[in-house]
């Protein structure tokens, strides 16, 4: 894309962006956030539906390398513009915000293209393949004054939101231990052209694909402390479950412990394949009480006796909530809860686990924050 195109669109973008900033959405109905989705696999369609469900947004473009699929999606959801080339799409000065729902190796380069074209970005998990890529994304967002949010969808689940609220209200006291698992007995994704199981394109296996959800969720509940040291082990024992012609050089099981500056610890287990029953849990323990999700229970005491209290939580569509939060951040000029800065720290933990597994010893996590923050 030429810089001339960027200059030509800058005035249009600036004027619409100004309209979107600082408007009281109650007293003054806003111009809608005009969104586009790049990558129309399952998550891309969830983002699309999320924008459609939000009165403050509309989807004006979709983009996928597969032209027939993109056109089908555009017809089904009544989207006016269809693209197969993301740079051409980013030239469309009417687009304010873009969801990047692409294979992991495209998160950084295409988010950076979008941010440099003046778009706000909602990027699918994992933030990137490495902390260095996430840092480049955060720096670009900062330089362009645009919102970069990561689609860490478990934070937007009704039970997670309720537990976060209980922790913020001090119900658990000081939370110093978290335990998270995303364990599949069998369930290795392959993706288009085998990218999920190719380290060069995915950045890793079970850990970066599904472990990231569990780790992010428990870490966020614990108030996102700064990680200082990690110990991890990875295993690759299920190559035979994927076709012979697919490159398979990633972890199908990872187990880790992460230590934080405030003294807290997280224990993580995540597998795409393991000869044990599948499991999906989040547990946090504090000085006053503990809690687990799935089933949502508070572990407390009453009159000196142990008490397990089931907790109710609203049921909501977490993808819709996630997209709604992104749109709200753009309209109201707020920092997303899953910010660019948090994306770097999350990737530092994943990088650290992989490095520790490779070296066979714990590794320390060095500082790396987004510029100017």
Ligand X SMILES: NC(=O)c1ccc[n+]([C@@H]2O[C@H](COP(=O)([O-])OP(=O)(O)OC[C@H]3O[C@@H](n4cnc5c(N)ncnc54)[C@H](O)[C@@H]3O)[C@@H](O)[C@H]2O)c1
Binding ligand X by CB under 6 A: which of 16, 34, 86, 283? Answer: 86
Q: Does 128 bind ligand X (CB under 6 A)?
A: no
Q: Does 201 bind ligand X (CB under 6 A)?
A: no
**Structure tokens given for 250:** 């990633």
Q: Does 106 bind ligand X (CB under 6 A)?
A: yes
Nearer to ligand X, 87 or 228 (CB): 87
List of residues 6+ apart from 144 with CB closer than 8 A: 115, 116, 118
Nearer to ligand X, 77 or 176 (CB): 77
Report in angstroms how near the CB of residue 17 gets to ligand X at its nearest: 24
Helix segments in 197-252, DSSP class H: 199-202, 206, 212-221
Judged by CB under 6 A, which stretch of 100-108, 112-120, 158-166, 329-337 contacts ligand X? Answer: 100-108
Q: How many CB atoms lie within 10 A of CB 345?
A: 22
Report in angstroms how near the CB of residue 75 gets to ligand X at its nearest: 16
> Distance between CA 101 and CA 97 in Å, rounded?
13
List of residues 6+ apart from 53 with CB closer than 8 A: 317, 320, 323, 324
Q: Does 203 bind ligand X (CB under 6 A)?
A: no
Report in angstroms how near the CB of residue 209 gets to ligand X at its nearest: 6
Binding to ligand X (CB under 6 A): which residues in 45-84?
63-66
Binding ligand X by CB under 6 A: which of 39, 118, 181, 227? Answer: 39
Count residues binding ligand X (CB under 6 A): 24
Contact, 127 vs 346, CB < 8 A?
A: yes
Residue closest to ligand X when measured from CB atoms = 41
Judged by CB under 6 A, which stretch of 21-29, 99-107, 180-188, 302-310 contacts ligand X? Answer: 99-107
Nearer to ligand X, 151 or 282 (CB): 151
> Distance between CA 97 and CA 329 in Å, rounded?
11
**Structure tokens given for 243:** 């076709």
Q: Does 153 bind ligand X (CB under 6 A)?
A: yes
Per-residue x/- mask for ligand X, residues 174 to 193, rule CB under 6 A? Answer: -----------------xx-
The whole-angstrom distance between residue 88's C-alpha and the CA centroid of its chain comes to: 25
Judged by CB under 6 A, which stretch of 2-10, 103-111, 235-243, 282-290 contacts ligand X? Answer: 103-111
> Distance between CA 321 and CA 314 in Å, rounded?
12
Nearer to ligand X, 87 or 298 (CB): 87
Binding ligand X by CB under 6 A: which of 28, 42, 243, 304? Answer: 42
Report in angstroms how near the CB of residue 365 gets to ligand X at its nearest: 23
Report in angstroms how near the CB of residue 86 gets to ligand X at its nearest: 5
Binding ligand X by CB under 6 A: which of 50, 103, 290, 343? Answer: 103
Q: What is the DSSP string of 322-355?
A: HHHHHHHHHHHTPPPSSBHHHHHHHHHHHHHHHH
> Distance between CA 1 and CA 232 in Å, rounded?
42
List of residues 6+ apart from 88 with CB closer than 8 A: none
Q: Is 3 left (phi over 0), alpha (psi -120 to 50) or beta?
A: alpha
> Distance between CA 66 and CA 298 in Å, rounded?
47
- Residues at the interface with ligand X (CB under 6 A): 38-44, 63-66, 86, 101-104, 106, 124-125, 151, 153, 191-192, 209
């Amino acid at each position: 894309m030429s810089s001339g195109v960027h200059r030509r669109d800058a005035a249009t973008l600036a004027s619409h962006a100004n309209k979107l900033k600082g408007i009281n959405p109650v007293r003054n109905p806003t111009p809608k956030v005009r969104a586009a989705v790049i990558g129309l696999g399952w998550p891309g369609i969830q983002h699309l539906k999320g924008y459609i469900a939000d009165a403050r947004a509309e989807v004006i473009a979709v983009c996928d390398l597969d032209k027939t699929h993109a056109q089908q999606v555009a017809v089904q959801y009544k989207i006016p513009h269809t693209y197969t080339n993301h740079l051409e799409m980013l030239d469309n000065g009417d687009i304010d915000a873009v969801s990047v729902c692409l294979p992991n190796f495209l998160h950084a380069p295409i988010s950076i293209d979008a941010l440099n074209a003046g778009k706000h970005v909602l990027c699918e998990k994992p933030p990137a393949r490495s902390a260095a890529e996430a840092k480049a994304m955060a720096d670009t967002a900062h330089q362009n004054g645009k919102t970069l949010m990561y689609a860490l969808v478990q934070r937007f689940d009704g039970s997670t939101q309720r537990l976060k609220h209980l922790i913020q209200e001090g119900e658990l006291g000081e939370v110093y231990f978290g335990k998270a698992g995303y364990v599949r007995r069998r369930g290795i994704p392959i993706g288009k052209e085998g990218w999920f199981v190719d380290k060069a394109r995915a950045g890793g296996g079970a850990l970066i694909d599904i472990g990231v959800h569990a780790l992010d969720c428990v870490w966020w509940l614990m108030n996102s402390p700064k990680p200082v040291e990690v110990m991890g082990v990875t295993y690759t024992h299920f190559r035979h479950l994927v076709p012979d012609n697919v490159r398979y050089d990633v972890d199908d099981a990872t187990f880790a412990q992460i230590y934080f500056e405030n003294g807290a610890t997280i224990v993580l287990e995540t597998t795409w394949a393991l000869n044990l029953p599948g499991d999906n849990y989040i547990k946090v323990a504090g000085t006053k009480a503990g809690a687990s999700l799935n089933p949502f229970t508070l572990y407390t005491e009453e009159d000196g006796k142990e008490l397990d209290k089931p907790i109710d939580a609203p049921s909501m569509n977490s993808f819709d909530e996630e997209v709604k939060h992104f749109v709200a951040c753009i309209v109201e000029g707020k920092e997303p809860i899953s910010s660019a800065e948090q994306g770097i720290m999350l990737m530092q933990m994943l990088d650290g686990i992989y490095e520790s597994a490779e070296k066979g010893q714990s590794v320390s996590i060095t500082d790396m924050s987004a510029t100017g923050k």
